[in-house]
């Protein structure tokens, strides 16, 4: 099956710093989403981005489907950005509705 690899596994930042999280996938995808899981376990959908670039406030994401990777950019990080960031994909020629999650990047933002 498709492999989803996220890097780095852990990241510690000082408040105000910028960061880039990466998601590599081993096969073509028709659905790619980024999620933030806060320390209380709630998964928040950040982006639906099977291709192209999107921005939402301090966050932006880019997916280059032909090269099988996606990037999540966090600018001017805040302590509330702490948590685990997951990339999830649905692969194949048609949507199956089955998202495969990566192992996540754990981000800690220090004040």
Partner 1 sequence: DAGVTQSPTHLIKTRGQQVTLRCSPKSGHDTVSWYQQALGQGPQFIFQYYEEEERQRGNFPDRFSGHQFPNYSSELNVNALLLGDSALYLCASSFRGTGFSPNEKLFFGSGTQLSVL
Residues paired with residue 73 on neighbouring β-strands, in sequence order = 20, 60
Per-residue binding letters, 62-101, with partner 1 (x by CB under 8 A): ------------------------x-x-x---xxxxxxxx
Considering only 21, 29, 102, 109, the residue that binds partner 1 (CB under 8 A) is 102
Residue 95 in 3-state DSSP?
coil
Query: Between 47 and 109, whose beta carbon lies closer to partner 1?
Result: 47
Alpha carbon dihedral 57, 75, 7, 56, in 10-degree steps, equals: 10
Does residue 59 belong to the site contacting partner 1 (CB under 8 A)? no
Residues within the interface to partner 1 (CB under 8 A)? 30-31, 33, 35, 40-45, 48, 86, 88, 90, 94-104
């Amino acid at each position: 099956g498709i492999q989803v690899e996220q890097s780095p596994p852990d990241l510690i930042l000082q408040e105000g710093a910028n960061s880039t999280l990466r998601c590599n996938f081993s096969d073509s995808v028709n659905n790619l989403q980024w999620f933030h899981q806060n320390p209380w376990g709630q998964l928040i959908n950040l982006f639906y981005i099977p291709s192209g670039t999107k921005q939402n406030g301090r966050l932006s994401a880019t997916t280059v489907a032909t090269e099988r990777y996606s990037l999540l950019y966090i600018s001017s990080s805040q302590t509330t950005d702490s948590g685990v960031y997951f990339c999830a994909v649905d692969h194949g020629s048609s949507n199956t509705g089955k998202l495969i999650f990566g192992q996540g990047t754990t981000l800690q933002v220090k004040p």
